[in-house]
Amino acid sequence: MLAYIVRRVLYAILILIGVNLITFVLFFFVNSPDDMARMQLGAKYVTPDALQKWKADHGYDKPLLWNSKASGPGKATETIFYEKSLRLFAFDFGAAEDGRNIGNEIRTRMGPSLALQIPVFVVALCVNITFALFLAFFRATYLDFWGVVLCVAMMSISTLFYIIGGQYLISKVWHLFPISGYAGGLDAWRFVLLPVIIGVVSSFGSSARLYRTLFLEEYSKDYVRTARAKGLAERVVMFRHVLQNAMIPILTGVVAAIPFLFMGALLSESFFGIPGLGSYTIDAIQAQDFAVVRSMVFLGAVLYIIGLLLTDISYTLVDPRVRFD
C-alpha cells in the first residue's frame, strides 16, 4: 500500500513537470516577455524603459529555460521556467499579471462554479439513469425505439443551440429567469436554475443512450434470466439485479469526472455571466495572462490525476479482485 502511494505521487510529480513544460513552451512560443509587458502597460506612450522595468519587476527578465551566464546549478535555476514552476507545486499560484492573487481568485470563483456544476452533475445523473432504466424496461417496444430516437436527435444538437435557444425563449420571451448574472449565497439558485436545466438537457442524449446499452448488457446476462425464470417480478429484477450491477461501470466512469467539476463550465459560465473558473479560463486565454493559464492548466492536471486515482480506488472497492500493486 505504502509503495503504491509513493509510486503514485512520484508519477504525479513527473506528469506535472511534463504538463508545465508543455504549457511553458507553447506559451512562450507565442508570447515573448516583451509582449506580456506591452499587453499590461497598454498601447499608449510605452517606452522601452517602462517595458524593462515591468519585466524586471515581474521576474521575466531572465532567460526562459537555460541560463548560460549563471554558474553551476544556477544555469537551470536562474530561469523563468524554474522560478515560475517551483512555487506551483506548493499550490502557491502567485499573482496574475494584473496583480490579483490567483489563489484567492480561484477560491472565490470555485463557489459559483460548483453551484452550477454540482446540480448539473447530480440532476443529470439521476435523470439520465432514470430514463435509461425506463428504456431498458420497455426494451424492444415502440417506447424504447422512440426514446432512442429522441436521444440520438438530442445528442446531434450542439450545446450552443441549447444555450442560445434556452436563453432566448425562457429568459427573454417568457421572463422566467434573469438573463444572466449571479449572486452569492442562497439567492444563487435563481441565476443557476436555467443554466442547470440547459446543462442537464444538453448532456441528456448521449449519457442516457450509453446507460441504456449498459442496462441492456446486464439484462442479457445469465443470472438475470435465472432470476426471471424463478418468477421474480420484472420490477424486482430491474431494481435489485440490473440496476445494482450496471451501476458499477456507470459510477466508476463518473468518478473520474468529479474532480473536473471544479474547473467550471466554459460555455454556460460565459453565456450566463457566472463568475466561475470556466469564465476565468476563457478570460485568461483572451487576455493572454500566462500566470493564470499556467495555474489553471496545473490545477486541471492535478484534478485529472486525482480523477485517475479515484477511478482506481473505486475499482478496488467494487471489484475485490483488483488490488493495489
Partner 1 sequence: MKALLRIFLICLLFLAGCEGAWNDPYSESVRGGMTLYSSFSERPKHLDPVQSYTEDEAKFTQQVYEPLLQYHYLKRPYELIPLTALEVPKAREIEGGKYTVYDIRIRPGIMYQPHPAFVASNFSLGKTEIDKLKSPYQLELGTRELVADDYIYQIKRLAHPRLHSPIGGHMNEYIVGLADYAKKLKAADRGGWLDLRQIPLDGVERIDSHAFRIKIRGSYPQFVYWLAMPFFAPVPWEAEKFFDQPGMAEKNFTLDWWPVGTGAYMLTENNPNSRMVLERNPNYRGEPYPSAGEAGDRERGLLADAGKTIPFIDRVILSREKEAIPYWNKFLQGYYDSSGIGSDQFDQAVRVSIEGDAVVTPEMEEKGIRLTTSVATSIFYVAFNWDDPVVGGSSERSRKLRQAISIAFDNEEYITIFANGRGIAAQGPVAPGIFGYREGREGINPVVYDWVDGKPQRKSIETAKKLLAQAGYPNGRDARSGQPLVLSLDTVTRGPGDKASFDWYRRQFEKLDIQLEIRATDWNRFQEKIRKGATQLFRLGWNADYPDPENFLFLLYGPQSRAKSQGENASNYLNPEYDALFERMKNMPNSPEREKIIDRMVEIARRDAPWIWGIHPKDYSLRHAWLANDKPNNMARNNIKYLKVDTEARAELRAQWNKPVLWPIALIVLVLALSAFPAILSYRKRERMAARPAA
Partner 2 sequence: MPFKPVLLWTDLLLWLLVAGTAIYVWYCYRRPHLAAPWGRVFQSRTAIASTVVLAAFVGMTLADSLHFRPRIGSGSEGAAQYSNEVLSVLDVAFAYLRERRERTYSAPLATRLYAKDQIESSTGAPTRDYPKLTYGGAHLQDESAHGRDIALRAGLGASLAVAAAFLLSLLRRRLSRWRPNVPWSAGLWTFAVLLLLTVPLLVLSTGYHVFGTDKVGQDVFYQSLKSIRTALVIATLSTVTMLPFGVLFGIVAGYFRGWIDDVIQYLYTTLNSIPGVLLIAAAVLMMQVYIDTHPQLFPTAADRADVRLLLLCIILGVTSWTGLTRLLRGETLKLSQLEYIQAAHAFGVSSARILGRHILPNVAHIVIITLVMDFSGLVLAEAVLSYVGVGVDPATISFGTMINAARLEMGREPIVWWSLAAAFAFMLVLVLAANLLADAVRDGFDPRVRVGSVPV
Interface characters, 30-69, with partner 2 (x: CB under 8 A)? x---------------------------------------
- Find the shortest distance in angstroms from Cβ 82 to partner 2: 19
Q: Which stretch binds partner 2 (CB under 8 A): 40-48, 85-93, 125-133, 286-294?
A: 286-294
- Cell digits of residue 248: 458499477
Of residues 108 and 245, the one with the C-beta less far from partner 1: 108
* Residue 297 lies near partner 2 (rule: CB under 8 A): yes
For 132-156, letters b (16+ CB in 10 Å) and e give bbbbbbeeeeeebeebbebbeebbe
* Residue 142 lies near partner 2 (rule: CB under 8 A): no
**Partner whose binding site includes residue 121, from partner 1, partner 2, none (CB under 5 to 8 Å by kind):** none
Interior angle at CA 102, CA 16 and CA 96, nearest 5: 100
**Partner whose binding site includes residue 279, from partner 2, partner 1, none (CB under 5 to 8 Å by kind):** partner 1
For partner 2, which residue of 65, 143, 153, 236 counts as binding (CB under 8 A)? 153
Is the distance from CB of 142 to CB of 250 less than 8 angstroms? no
In whole angstroms, what separates CA 27 from the centre of its chain? 21
| Residue 257 φ then ψ, to 5° | -85, -20
Place of cell 463518473: 254
- Find the shortest distance in angstroms from Cβ 206 to partner 2: 7
* Residue 117 lies near partner 2 (rule: CB under 8 A): no
For partner 2, which residue of 170, 210, 227, 232 counts as binding (CB under 8 A)? 210
- Find the shortest distance in angstroms from Cβ 141 to partner 1: 6
* Residue 168 lies near partner 2 (rule: CB under 8 A): yes
Is the distance from CB of 100 to CB of 289 less than 8 angstroms? no
The DSSP call for residue 179 is S
Which residues have a Cβ under 8 Å from the Cβ of 75 and sit 6 or more positions away? 66, 67, 68
Give the C-alpha separation, 310 to 312, whole Å. 5
Of 201, 113, 118, the C-alpha closest to 161 is 201
* Residue 27 lies near partner 2 (rule: CB under 8 A): yes
* Residue 160 lies near partner 2 (rule: CB under 8 A): yes
Strands in the chain per DSSP E: none
* Residue 321 lies near partner 2 (rule: CB under 8 A): no
**Partner whose binding site includes residue 158, from partner 1, partner 2, none (CB under 5 to 8 Å by kind):** partner 2
Quickly count: other Cβ atoms within 10 Å of residue 92's Cβ. 12
Is the distance from CB of 292 to CB of 241 less than 8 angstroms? no
- Find the shortest distance in angstroms from Cβ 324 to partner 1: 37
Is the distance from CB of 102 to CB of 94 less than 8 angstroms? yes
**Partner whose binding site includes residue 26, from partner 2, partner 1, none (CB under 5 to 8 Å by kind):** partner 2
Of residues 16 and 37, the one with the C-beta less far from partner 2: 16
Q: Which residues contact partner 2 by CB under 8 A?
A: 11, 14-15, 18-19, 22-23, 26-27, 29-30, 152-153, 155-161, 164, 168, 206, 210, 213, 263, 266-267, 281-282, 285-286, 288, 293, 296-297, 300-301, 304-305, 308
